[in-house]
Amino acid sequence: MKNGQLLSETTAGSSSKFLSLLIDIKYLLKGKVLVANVLPVFTAYWLALYFNGEQFIDHWGLFLLTMFGSTLVISGALILNNWYEVDLDRKMVRTQNRPTVNGNFSLKAVLWSGIITSIIGLVFMLFTTLEAAIYSFLGWFVYVVLYTFWTKRKFTLNTIVGSVSGAFTPLIGWAAIAPASHIVPIVFFCILFIWQVPHTFAISIKRLEDYTRAGVPMLPVVYGVDVTIRQIIIYVIALLPFPFFLTTSLGWFFLVFAVFLTIGWIILALKGPRAKDVKKWAQMNLRYSLIYLILLSFAMIILTSPIID
């Protein structure tokens, strides 16, 4: 009886430790951020197959290399971001569960994990195409060096720099199949660049106290919430023209759907100046931005689904 109970307790303890490890990894990789960056890679890869007349079954190995390699590169960048910003994260409420803050992972281990993960990811990408590998490195370099190491702590421009990094993801996916000089990946790049600005501004309003306490020069910290709200409105409106450039490629249904999504976001954004609870409004914008990206990506995939035939 005692032996059985001891075995049960040991198993439960092991399961608990493993679950805790997975939770720590999720926080280290900023789970939602990782998914939001990998999704455009997959979407653009799918689109590239369609527009270049290729079949998925003929490139399943390349698909695995692209997705695995890009995920590792993005993960490596996020890990290095966590390692470098541990002093800021210790001052923020929203980052207290990160293993770099609670001490579950040593900073040395996190640093080497970020370096090794980045290198392995870039090596995998070299087995796809040189162009895809270059885009992967550029996205990593902008995020780690230009954003994390340089602009994040010094300039409100940090949001723009970080947005450039994330916008490389569709170029990575497309370039694994063909040169990314096509109108679709270029417009997708522009959409993602603009999309990330109001998305990030919404986060900075929602977590204003955190950023103020940590001394991070986000736009609402330096210039105030009212200015940031106006910027959100401007950037969301700036998304409106881009679906028109994809009408020839993706059809009228996509145009109507994308414009409808954008108008919905514009209406929500315009409520900002009159919002009684600005943080609640910012949270709604944050959620809508994620829904916007997911639905836009899925629409692109579904409308090119005959590739599976």
Q: Is 94 helix (H, G, I), strand (E, B) or coil?
A: coil
Q: Is residue 165, in this structure, part of any structural domain at all?
A: yes
Q: Is residue 2, in this structure, part of any structural domain at all?
A: no
Band of residue 97 on the pLDDT scale cut at 50, 70, 90: very high
For the segment 99-119, what is each residue's pLDDT rounded down to a tens digit?
999 999 999 999 999 999 999
Q: Is residue 242, in this structure, part of any structural domain at all?
A: yes
Q: Is residue 289, in this structure, part of any structural domain at all?
A: yes
For 155, phi and psi rounded to 5 degrees? -130, 145
**Taking the model in full, what pTM does it have?**
0.93
Cα–Cα distance for residue pair 40/79, rounded to 1 Å: 20
| Furthest CA-CA distance within the chain | 72
Return the pLDDT at 2: 55
CATH number for 238 = 1.10.600
Cα–Cα distance for residue pair 258/47, rounded to 1 Å: 16
Q: Is residue 98, in this structure, part of any structural domain at all?
A: yes
For the segment 13-35, what is each residue's pLDDT rounded down to a tens digit?
667 788 888 889 999 998 889 99
Report residue 237 as tokens: 């409106």
Q: In angstroms, what CA-CA distances link 72 with 27, 41, 121, 142, 168?
A: 15, 12, 5, 16, 15
CA angle (76 as vertex; 87, 19 as ends), nearest 5: 80
Cα–Cα distance for residue pair 188/148, rounded to 1 Å: 24
Q: Which domain holds residue 276?
A: 30-308
Q: Is residue 15, in this structure, part of any structural domain at all?
A: no
Report residue 235 as tokens: 């950037």
Span 50-79, mean pLDDT? 96
Q: DSSP label at 91?
A: T
For the cut 70, the answer to whether the pLDDT of residue 10 exceeds it is no
Span 287-308, mean pLDDT? 90
Q: In angstroms, what CA-CA distances link 194 with 63, 115, 137?
A: 27, 29, 21
Report residue 51 as tokens: 């527009």
For the segment 220-268, what is each residue's pLDDT rounded down to a tens digit?
999 999 999 999 999 999 999 999 999 999 999 999 999 999 999 999 9
Structural domain total, the chain: 1
Q: Contact 76/110 with Cβ under 8 angstroms?
A: no
Q: Is residue 18, in this structure, part of any structural domain at all?
A: no
For the segment 193-230, what is each residue's pLDDT rounded down to a tens digit?
999 999 999 999 999 999 999 999 999 999 999 999 99
